[in-house]
Amino acid sequence: MDSYRHCLAQVDDSTLNDKEWTLDLPDSLMQFRMNLVELLVYICQLLGSAMFVQKVFFGGWVSSNTQIPWKEVEAKMFALNAVAEVFLKGSETFDFSIVMHLVTILSSRTSDELKGFMCIVYRSVADVVGSYSKWICAFQTNARPLLLFLASGISESLCSNACATSLRKFCEDSTAVMSEPSNLEVLIWIGEELEKRHLPLEDEEEVVSAITLILDSVPSKELKGNLLARLLSPSYEAIGELVSCSVFSWCMTM
């Protein structure tokens, strides 16, 4: 991981292309990430999941929200995400409180603070949430903070794909928890704001799929109908405007 952190040293806020709103990561880092995944999986299998996590999370690097070494955080999140399949196949788990602490810190950041390298960190944490959603959702208290974290990330162009995908995975793995009233409110709010976000079609499909899955699990037909009406209300307004324009144009031709 020291080599990976060395590659991360090439990355700073200048990697953000403001005109195209993309992250231009160094080619050496992109290639190194690809090559490192297989090695990390092998090391995890060799050490065992518990020992691997102990090595990755060694040290109190997120004990407070001041002076956090974000490049080290990103490197650790990348490693954790790379070995997700190995973990999920085994019987061992680990303490997700560190991940949840990062979720809380990043959720409190303003949009202006989520620029450049911080977008990479946000995206990496979102990837971990999606990869380990089956475990994380076992703790109901995690649901709302994670929903708010993913909702905030969906609003950021550079994080939207990771957050939208993780939202869908999270809803698939925690249908009962997501059906609780407070969590439903957050999901519907995400849906209501979807039109304003102008997401890529792929990301929008992920979000709609997540919300639809949870709405379908709501036992009360009346509640389901009310929530669906709220979700579709922006579309009703758009359709109404189109109809009004069409009628006006037709009248002008008469």
Measure the CA angle with vertex 134, ends 128 and 137; round to 5°: 90
**pLDDT tens digits, 124-142:** 999 999 999 988 877 778 8
Please identify, in words, the CATH class of the domain defined by 2-218: mainly alpha
CA quadruple 86, 90, 92, 93: dihedral positive or negative?
Answer: positive
Its pTM stands at 0.82
3-state SS class at 157: coil
pLDDT over 60 at 254, yes or no: no
Domain positions in the chain: 2-218
Which stretch of DSSP H or E encloses residue 22?
A: strand 22-23
- 57-71, 125-139, 220-234, 235-249: the lowest-pLDDT one: 235-249
